[in-house]
Amino acid sequence: MSKSIGILTSGGDCPGLNAAIRGVGKPALELYDMTVLGFRDGFRGLVQDRLMRLDTSVLSGILTDGGTILGTSRDKPHRMPFGGKTRDMTDAIVDTYHRHHLDVVICLGGGGTQKNALRLHEAGLNVLTLPKTIDNDVAKTDVTFGFDTALSTATEAIDRLHSTATSHHRIIVVEIMGHRAGWLALGAGIAGGADVILIPEIPYTVASVARAITTRARQGKRFSIVAVAEGALTAVEQARTVKLRKRKAAAKQKATRKRIANELDQIEADREGNTQRLTKELESLTGIESRLTILGHLQRGGTPSAADRLLATRLGTACTKAIAAETFGCMVASRGDGSKLVPLKDVANERKLVPPNHPWVKSARLVGTCLGDE
């Protein structure tokens, strides 16, 4: 009996989403005679039945397109804003699933999407996921699609900033995406020859960074490039965060936990100005004119690289094979040149962070890059 599958994209957009949709859809339609239904704007599309039928004409020509033809959102099934209130819309999603006689829902997304997909699986739906995010922080997969393209974009930006930094003898601070994980800033910083790289996994001190830049200046190198992940924290901020999280976990009273949660939220809010403050502090400490460039959503856009198209296509086709084999409740993870089905329960509550002894970290130190911790 022919199967009916639903597919959605959730969380932030990234290059390769359309390639993944095509990778799932073409074999589903042409080899397995499945019906393929797209739901617009993430999980909200399942709640409100925002349907888009995906046939071969729709899938044709989207391989090289950035973004997602289905649209996306960060809405969570169990905490979705509706009518001025936040509601659990899981039952509405279940109703949509059964109304269209779906055999599976495929969710393309990052860490948050994996958690939300697991909740739907636990609610009784057949679910499969694909790992996408420019942050490359989804657990249990070698790499996520979207990362390679964003890495190239960030590296090219650093390349371009070298010329203006050199011409004006400046410090150029480049803010790169990566709220919890530093893969993108670390990779782009190494590939772009940044002199300082700051990532969330390695707390830094401004004094250490300023010292490294001053040393360069004394050696006759009158410019420096500082690549900073948006989630990078000073050692003081990191220590305070860790302490508050421990206190929150140990707190027995709800009011105490809420108060500590508010303090943690304030630290998160203050992060938004971290790179601006860092830029001013470096100029003050070194006496060298400093400028800040925030790459922002530029890193999410554009045509996916060949590597991302290939990765998204092979994970998409592997997903369709899993549907045909009726294997559900898993993420299709990248493993070498192949793929592996990993249970969602093993993925949903983990994040792949940069280990302090990772080969990229070791290489950065060996070429003299300052990571802010020494």
Active-site residue list: 135
d(CA 347, CA 87): 25
Three-state secondary structure call for residue 196:
strand
Alpha helices (H) along 34-100: 43-47, 56-59, 90-99
d(CA 80, CA 85): 8
| Cα Rg of the chain (Å, integer) | 22
Which helix H or strand E contains 157, and what residues bound it? Answer: helix 147-168
Tell me how far CA of residue 307 lies from CA of 24, 74, 208, 312, in angstroms.
17, 26, 36, 9
d(CA 178, CA 353): 10
Per the CB < 8 A criterion, the answer to whether 14 and 146 are in contact is: yes
Q: Which residues of 87-97 are buried (b: 16+ CB within 10 A; e: fewer)?
A: eebbebbbebb
